[in-house]
Structures are given as structure tokens and as C-alpha cells.
Structure 1
Amino acid sequence: MTREHPTSATWAPMLAELERGLLQRDVAARALLLAALAGEHVLLLGPPGTAKSELARRLQRLLPGAHYFERLLTRFTVPEELFGPLSLRALENDRYERLTEGYLPGAEVAFLDEVFKANSAILNTLLGLLHERQFDNGSQRVPVPLVCLVGASNEQPQDDSLLAFYDRFLLRVPVQPVDDDHFAALLQAEAFDDRPVPAEALIDLAQIEALRQRAATLPLGDGALDVLLRARQHAAASGQAVSDRRWRQLVALLQWQAASGDAPAVGEWDLWVLPYVLAADPAHVPGWTRFFLDAVAHTAPQPIDGLERAVMAFEQQLDTERRTPPDAQDDSAGKLALARAITRPGEESEMLRITSERAQRRYSPVHIDARVAQCDALLEQLMALHNERLTQAHAVLGQARAHAWLPPSWLLQIEAVHAERCGQLAVLCAQHQSTRHGFAALPVDAGATPVAPPPVHWETP
């Protein structure tokens, strides 16, 4: 089945098939599919039992007729286990050739577990196979059909001699066991099955090749270029070295991702892959994730301490004015004390209520109008900022939800940040509105000297 004009919806069935029944694997599934479609390789870093091999097997099932190869590597693994046994017939004719059918050189999708434990002879052969898609079989260099090699390891390599091989994996994705919030769902999850892959989830390699050619012509959008320039500064400031080759590979991956959604240029949201391309150490992934979320999703903290202090200052001023006793010549305070004395504990009397109201200080209309006006000025600031952040949230979330490759777990984080930010301002607006009503309801003395009170002050952070 050929899809003439792929859109963001084209990849949804493939992602759904990769993630089916798996918990918290949205990032790994997206990185794996995106890498495979772009002709790159993926390294999954994490402990055993985290569905790394299952993801690789599912990728193979998305490719009609694709051969799959899987091996667990150790320091005792010999080349014959990966590349095939020597051909005895070829040896009789003084040729050193391997029988590669059913082995790595004949596979479209391969999974190598504990990939860094292989010896140097195997790793050197893998280097050329991964990078050039070529295999030296005796005196011949033959092309291999490899679409994607998925490597797995408990940790990144510590030996400097392995860094060149480590660098061949463009995407390096940490995979951890499910967290406490998803543990109950893990225990109740159904066993994996091998049901047929839906036709709409199958990968059309001819279409993918055409898409790659179009992707190479896509420009970097201004927003994406700006984020990449800032990413280079972030890498330098945090002491992370990123080679020129990796930057170029990243751009090619971004171009393919943009082309997969029929976009005219690479956009800012395509850069969600930054943590998995630029972080050489899994410990750096959270920092790169924050970099992307702050730069593109605008999740960086936006303090409103000054406004919170202002709202609190008005509340305290209202409390002070409510508690201020009446003038000395007014005997309301004495009457209130008498009313309280004759009222039994736990009993509310009408006389006590009326007397309490009369025992409050009364303010001139000018005083009350001034306080209300001061409240209105602050309320206007609060409402303007609330509307500004609502507008920003709608714009950000609209873009995030429209991006086919953005992991849903990231979208939830973005939604939570903007919801909390807007909710916090909504609460402050309601809180200050109540204070405004309190000032407007202060007891009035029409005959009081019409003096406007000084503005309410608060400390700025």
C-alpha cells in the first residue's frame, strides 16, 4: 500500500503498534521508528527486562518481508555468530567468504544486546556495517539491506576505544523500569501477542525513500535555527562536546521529521529529539529535556512573587481597617463588650451582630472609593497577565498537540505547567476580587473628613 502524501496521521498507526501494551515507552517507540524511517540506528540504555528487544521485534514486524537478527554479545562471542560461518566450498577455492544468509549481513532489522561487550574484531566490522551499510565478505564489499540496528546496553561504554562505535548510534535513549504510578497497571497488563499487524501500520520503504529525498531539500526554519544556536551554547556551557558530524546528522534527522508531516521547513517542535542526539551521557538527558521544554514549550519558571505580595498586602490592609476601633468619642466599643458579656458561649444573638457592626470604624466615601480604585488597578494587572498566559498556553498547546512525534508524556508535562501557571493567576484574581469587595463593604460615615488614604505598599522581590 502506497501513501502518496504522508501526513502526521500516517505514522500514528505505526506508533500505536510499537507501543501496544507497553507502559512509559512512548519516547523509545518514537525514537526507534523515527530513526528507522530516517535510516539511522538506535541505542537503548537501561537494565534488562525493560522491553528493549520487544521494541526491536515489533519494528521488524512493521516492515513487510523484513528479516530479523538478534544476539546477546559477550567477550567470548566470535564473528561467526554474527556474520555467518566460513564457506567450506569457498575455502577449497582459496577464498575467505562467509555464508551470511540468516545472519546480521542479511537482516533489515537487528537487535544486539550488551553491544559493547563484543571484542574489537566484531566491533570493527560493525563500524563499517552501520555507517556504510557495507560488509566485507572476503575480497568483496557487498551492500547490506540493514534498515536499523537496535543496540542495547545497561550503561554507556567507559572504555575510550568504544567511543567511535558509540557515536555510530545517532539516537541514544535511556529506558527505565516503570515508575510507581504505573506499577499496578504493569501487574495487570495482558501478555504480548503476535497478532497480525494492521495494513495501515506497515512501512512502505519505497515511500520512505521518496520522503528522504524530499527531506534533504527542506530548510531550517528561523525558530529552529535559533534554538539550535542556543543548543550549541548550552552544550559549551555544560562542557559537552558535540562533533560537527553529529550536528549535521541531527539536521538530517530533523529534516526527515519535518518532511514526514509535510511541513515546508524544520520547526521548533521537531527539536524534541535533542536530548537523545546530543547527550553523550544519559545523566545529561534531563538537562537537555529541560532546555527544549523551556526554549520551545515555554515551561521555564515565570515568578509572580511581586503580585502575590501585592494581593497579600491588600488583604492585610483590609484586615487592619476592619479591626481599627472607632473614634474615642464613639461608645460602640463599650456596647460591644457589654453585648459579648451577656451572650452565652456558642450563641449568636442579633444584638451582638448589630453591635459588632456598629463597633467598626466608619470611613468616608472618598476613602472607600480610593481603596476600591487601588484594588481595581492591581486587578487589572492580574487579569492582563492571566490573559497573556492563557494566550501563550493556547498557542503552545495547540502546536504541541499538532506535532505527531512529540511524546505524549512530554505533552502531559507541558499541559501541567501551563495549567498550573494559569490556575495560579486565576486564584489570585479571585482572591483579590474578594478583597476588593471587602473594601467596598466597609462601614460608611458620610460626614467623615473626605481624605484619600495613601496607596497600599508591598515589598518587591
Structure 2
Amino acid sequence: MRWTAAIDELERGLLQRDVAARALLLAALAGEHVLLLGPPGTAKSELARRLQRLLPGAHYFERLLTRFSVPEELFGPLSLKALEDDRYERLTAGYLPSAEVAFLDEVFKANSAILNTLLGLLHERCFDNGSQRVDVPLVCLVGASNEVPQDESLHAFYDRFLLRVPVMPVDDAHFAALLQAARPEGEAHPDARLSSASLAALREQAAEVSLGEAVIALLETARERARNTQQTVSDRRWRQTAALLQVQAASRDANEVSAWDAWVLPFVLAGDPQQVPGWTDWFLQTVAQATPLAIDGLERAAQAFEQQLDIERRAPADAQDDSAGKLALARAIAGPTSESELVRITSERAHRRYGALHIRARVAQVAEVQARVQAVQSGVHATADLVLAQAVAHGWLPPSWRERIVAVHTQRCAHVDALAVQLADLHGGFAALPRLEEDQSEFVPTPVSWQD
């Protein structure tokens, strides 16, 4: 994928930031904005600075907002020369209206005067400077916050961020690597840079990408899930989501959006970080087919056959057969610490023997279940091969998600393989039951029953 170098540059030296880095780059390619939700010290501002380094000559703006922040801090001071001419204009050079990439920390703590101006700047890419409305070169604004705003007056501004990505501290498994990680320095690799011409060409190409019936059906399923879980998604957000998927497909030089492009949906549709895991599971189950195997009935069958085989192996000889007494005599002759050939032979004869019809019936019953398990086994392995090939081929899929998908499908294959081995052992066990020396039995056993 031609954007791999840019992804690598954003992730370089950072641990467990593959999702945030990919979401940030995808937002920049699509001209959308990103909100990073998480505690301080989780590389939120570092990601924004790295994005700026990918854009040659791009201006970067960064501010920490508080309730005492004033518009001048973001949009520039008033022009004294303009005031002399009775014009209310700001000197925007070096401030947010002149930036291609911006990072606003604690973005929801700003006052209404700032937020109202930001609304137009984010959505319409324009800034009212006095009596003039001027276009701004903003490619992507990265907002950061510790939490989702609870004030309803902030919901409109919160909705302007198409991608809202939780960013948490590095977990215990990666703590040692965190302590030893080197801080990367220097400019971005030339292959990772994003020119204005390449961004414009990509967005033009994305307009020609088809959503496809399969992805439209997937989005309809997502909309139904949002409705059933009482999560509100506006019509504008759905349209932006479709455009984002088209940009992602175009970045892969695809003519049609893939279901795998929908990995980004949890960060678009979830209204709260607590809802992201549910949407992630939905994607993994729906697209990656990463679900537990539903083979309880077949496992109950194997368990029932195992119990029946144990019963038949332990069943004593018929009452008229004196083999049990002979076994006791043989053990007395051999002594307490010796297991002689006489004891072994006599022990075998002390247990019940079965006719050919009985054994064939049991083997046939196990073989029937084996055939069903083999069909499941074939399907599980075929699904795993297909899904893992698609996951590896999709350059945008976060590696941490790919690892999770691999783990689930590996476990599914191991689960059904173990059941197949268990049934093969049962098949052999019934086939090896002691046989009558003079087989005149016409007895066919009652089939082993289980709940399927």
C-alpha cells in the first residue's frame, strides 16, 4: 500500500498506538478531524506533531485550552492598523486560521466564543475575519480530552470530530519496552510525506469508488445495531462515514469499498469510548468471523460415546462365565507385586466380549458423528485461511486487531481438531472391544443418545 511509509512514520517508536496512528492518517487523507480521548501522557500531541512532519511546509498550531482562554490565543490579535480604519480584523499569521495541522488539548474547556468560531472553521474550513470570510488551509485538527463532554451545548462541537479514538496508557505487557524505547528524531522519510497534490488526487479518486452492495448491507446492519443499542448517529455522520470508507478504499487503489475497510466504524459510530469495545466486537464477529465455535452438540456426542466406551470396557463377563474367579486365582498365584502374562490374559477374559454386530453398530454411530465433525473442521479451516489472508492483505487493519483475529481463528481450528482426534480415538476404541470367540450373537445395541 502506498501509504505504508506514512503509517510507519506515525507509529515509529510508539507502543500500542497502531489504531490511533491509522485513524489519524486516514482522517488527514479524508480531510476530517480526530478527537483523541485519554489521560495525559499518552502521546496524543506527539501523534499530531508527527502528522505535521508528514506534510512538507505545513504550519502547525498547538494550544492547551482552559475556561480562561481568549479568542486572541487561537485566532490572533486584533490588527491595530485595521482598527484605525474602523475594521475589526485579526492578524492570523502563525495562529490557527493559518495552520494545516492543529492540536487543541482539553478542547472542550474552551468558552462559547471560541467554540462557536471553531464550529465553522472545522466544518466549513473558513474563518470570519472582520467583514471577510477567508478560506483556511486546515487539513486536520486533532483535539484531545480526558473525557466526553456531558454538557449538551457541547454535543454539536463534539460531533464535528468524525473519528473519536480512545488512547490508553501502555499495558503491563509492554511496560518494559516502554522504559527502553528510544525517542525517534529527525524529519520524516521522503516516502512518507503527503503532498497537497497527492491528497487532492486521492480525494478525487475516492469520489469514483463504489460502496458496493455488500458494504451498504453492512452499514445497514450497523445502523440497525446503533438503533437497537440507542446510539444516535446523524445523517451527516453516515454520509461522512461513507466518504471516509471511499477514501480508504481509494488509498488501496481499489475500485470498491471492502468490508474490511469497516474496521474504522467503531471510532466513527461510538458516541462514547465505553461503546467502542462493543462496536469492535461487532466488526470482528461480522467481518472477521472471529466467533466461538458452536459445536456443543458434537462435543456432547463425543462425551456420551466416551462414557459408553468406558462402560463397555469395564462391563464384567456374563454370569455363566467363571473368568472373574479365574482372574482372582491368577492374581493370588502371581503375588501382589507381579503382573504375569497369566494375569493379563485372564484379566482380558474377565470382561465382557461383544459380537460383531454390536461393534459394527457402535463404530458406525461414531463414524456418523465423525463425518459431521470433519465437515465442520473443513469449513473452519477454510474460513480461517480466507479470513487471515484478507486480514494480512488489508494494509490499514491495525496489527493489534490482526493478532486478535489470528488468535481467535487459531483457537477455533485447535478446538475442532481436538474434537476430531477425540472421535478418532473413540472409533478405534469401539473397534478394539473384546470379541466373542464363537460369534453367534445377533444383538444390536441401542444407539448412544445425546442432545444435539
Q: How many angstroms apart in 1 are the aligned matches of 2:112 and 2:332? A: 95
Tell me by how many angstroms 1:148 deviates.
0.3
Q: How many angstroms apart in 2 are the aligned matches of 1:178 and 1:143? A: 39
Deviations 1:190-219 (A, max 9, x none): 2x1322311111112212211211211222
Q: 2:100 maps to which residue? A: 108
Q: How many angstroms apart in 1 are the aligned matches of 2:107 and 2:280? A: 26
Tell me by how many angstroms 1:128 deviates.
0.8
Q: How many angstroms apart in 2 are the aligned matches of 1:405 and 1:71? A: 30
Structure 2 counterpart of 1:432, which letter?
A: L
- Please point out which of 246, 256, 262 is paired with 2:237: 246
1:170-209 alignment to 2 at 5 Å? 170-190=162-182, 192-209=183-200
Single out whichever of 237-246 and 413-422 deviates more from structure 2: 413-422
Q: How many angstroms apart in 2 are the aligned matches of 1:172 and 1:414? A: 23
Residues 208 and 255 of structure 2 are in contact (CA less than 8 Å); yes or no, is this contact kept in structure 1?
Answer: no
Deviations 1:300-329 (A, max 9, x none): 333211000000111111111101111122
Q: 1:6 maps to which residue? A: none
Tell me by how many angstroms 1:182 deviates.
1.6
Q: 2:50 maps to which residue? A: 58
Q: 1:270 maps to which residue? A: 261
* 2:400 aligned with 1:409: yes
Single out whichever of 444-453 and 261-270 deviates more from structure 2: 444-453
- Please point out which of 397, 410, 413 is paired with 2:388: 397
Structure 2 counterpart of 1:434, which letter?
A: D
> CA, structure 1 residues 362+130, in 2 after alignment: closer, same or farther (shift >3 Å)?
same
Residues 34 and 161 of structure 2 are in contact (CA less than 8 Å); yes or no, is this contact kept in structure 1?
Answer: yes
1:59-458 alignment to 2 at 5 Å? 59-190=51-182, 192-345=183-336, 347-448=338-439, 449-458=441-450
Residues 365 and 446 of structure 1 are in contact (CA less than 8 Å); yes or no, is this contact kept in structure 2?
Answer: no
Could you say what secondary structure the match of 1:66 adopts? coil
Tell me by how many angstroms 1:279 deviates.
0.9
Tell me by how many angstroms 1:338 deviates.
2.8
Deviations 1:80-125 (A, max 9, x none): 1111111222222222211111111111110000000001111111
Residues 13 and 184 of structure 2 are in contact (CA less than 8 Å); yes or no, is this contact kept in structure 1?
Answer: no
Q: How many angstroms apart in 2 are the aligned matches of 1:394 and 1:102? A: 53
Q: 1:3 maps to which residue? A: none
User: Any unmatched runs of 5+ in structure 1?
Assistant: 1-8
**What is the TM-score normalised by the length of structure 2?**
0.97
Q: How many angstroms apart in 1 are the aligned matches of 2:52 and 2:336? A: 79
Single out whichever of 312-321 and 90-99 deviates more from structure 2: 90-99
Q: How many angstroms apart in 2 are the aligned matches of 1:18 and 1:342? A: 81
Q: How many angstroms apart in 1 are the aligned matches of 2:250 and 2:337? A: 74
Structure 1 counterpart of 2:448, which letter?
A: V
Tell me by how many angstroms 1:343 deviates.
4.8
> CA, structure 1 residues 315+138, in 2 after alignment: closer, same or farther (shift >3 Å)?
same
Deviations 1:327-353 (A, max 9, x none): 122221112223334555554333322
Q: How many angstroms apart in 2 are the aligned matches of 1:335 and 1:101? A: 106
| Identity in percent | 67
Q: How many angstroms apart in 2 are the aligned matches of 1:371 and 1:299? A: 35
**What is the TM-score normalised by the length of structure 1?**
0.95
Q: 2:2 maps to which residue? A: 10
Q: How many angstroms apart in 1 are the aligned matches of 2:18 and 2:350? A: 65
Residues 369 and 440 of structure 1 are in contact (CA less than 8 Å); yes or no, is this contact kept in structure 2?
Answer: yes
Q: How many angstroms apart in 1 are the aligned matches of 2:267 and 2:336? A: 68
> CA, structure 1 residues 48+345, in 2 after alignment: closer, same or farther (shift >3 Å)?
farther
Residues 83 and 98 of structure 1 are in contact (CA less than 8 Å); yes or no, is this contact kept in structure 2?
Answer: yes
Q: How many angstroms apart in 1 are the aligned matches of 2:229 and 2:336? A: 67
Residues 23 and 186 of structure 1 are in contact (CA less than 8 Å); yes or no, is this contact kept in structure 2?
Answer: yes
Q: How many angstroms apart in 2 are the aligned matches of 1:129 and 1:243? A: 20
Single out whichever of 64-73 and 174-183 deviates more from structure 2: 174-183
Deviations 1:122-176 (A, max 9, x none): 1111111111111111121111111100000000111111111101100000111
Q: How many angstroms apart in 2 are the aligned matches of 1:134 and 1:110? A: 15
Tell me by how many angstroms 1:400 deviates.
1.4
Q: How many angstroms apart in 1 are the aligned matches of 2:172 and 2:333? A: 59
> CA, structure 1 residues 341+13, in 2 after alignment: closer, same or farther (shift >3 Å)?
farther
Tell me by how many angstroms 1:394 deviates.
1.2
Q: How many angstroms apart in 1 are the aligned matches of 2:156 and 2:268? A: 15
Q: How many angstroms apart in 1 are the aligned matches of 2:247 and 2:55? A: 19
